[in-house]
Amino acid sequence: MNKKVITLIGVLVLLVVIGGVIYFTTRDNTQSNENPNQENNNQVTNDNEENNNEEEGEDNNTTSTGNRVLILYFSMSGNTETVAEFIHEEVGGDLVKLETEKTYSSDYNDLLDEAQEEQRNNARPALKTTINLDNYDVIFLGYPNWWGDMPMPIYTLLDEYDFSGKIIAPFVTSGGSGFSNTLSEIRNAEPNANVTEGLSISGSSASSSRNRVNTWVEELGF
């Protein structure tokens, strides 16, 4: 009787030992199988985030229409700049202020005198700003109307850069003269570019021109 009890106890102990071995072996295998998957999933997630960031970093000047857009403007009083910023907010793309090597007077009357003198001399003020037009399909070109014409730095721009095959969308701010003859001047200077209908904004209403800007860019297809 005692021998049977001892045998039974031995069997039970053996079963407990075997069960413990099976349990811990199964648990270790499960953990070993899960960890690589977690690492792989984390790696895939990180790789996807890096790829997305790289893609977002490329062609930041591309709009929802698929066009690579540059909003390029010349502004002294800030009116043309305000309109340019409204266009940028609506369309996207790159926003660049055209700057010259020379410094224009901050006094309005002196500035007008400088502008008139440049027109008389058919001057071409040197540009400080450089642009790679190969990066763009559409150029929104903005400027104030000075003495019934474009500021002479715009003529420098049109002389030095080839806009062939590009879309030029002009916008102007003025005291009431609108574009004057400047659209024809742009078309003559860049005969192989597609010059769209422009947007003329009174300088005094530039800060409240957002709705007009939005309507215009929508009509252009943006």
What are the residue boundaries of the structural domains of the chain, listed by start? Answer: 1-58, 69-219
Check if the beta carbon of residue 172 is closer than 8 Å to that of residue 149.
Answer: no
At 63 the pLDDT is 65
Asked if residue 161 lies in contact with residue 129, where contact means CB atoms within 8 angstroms, the answer is no
The gap from C-alpha 15 to its chain's centroid, in whole angstroms, comes to 71
pLDDT given at position 6 = 53
* H and E: helices and strands count for the chain: 6, 6
Tell me, yes or no, if the pTM score tops 0.75.
no
pLDDT tens track of the chain, all 222 residues? 555 545 555 555 555 555 554 544 444 444 444 433 443 444 433 444 444 444 443 456 666 668 899 999 999 999 999 999 999 999 999 999 999 999 999 998 999 999 999 999 999 999 999 999 999 999 999 999 999 999 999 999 999 999 999 999 999 999 999 999 999 999 999 999 999 999 999 999 999 999 999 999 999 998
According to DSSP, residue 193 is labeled S
Q: Check if CATH label 3.40.50.360 holds for domain 69-219.
A: yes
Determine the Cα–Cα distance for residues 219 and 222; give it in Å rounded to an integer.
Answer: 7
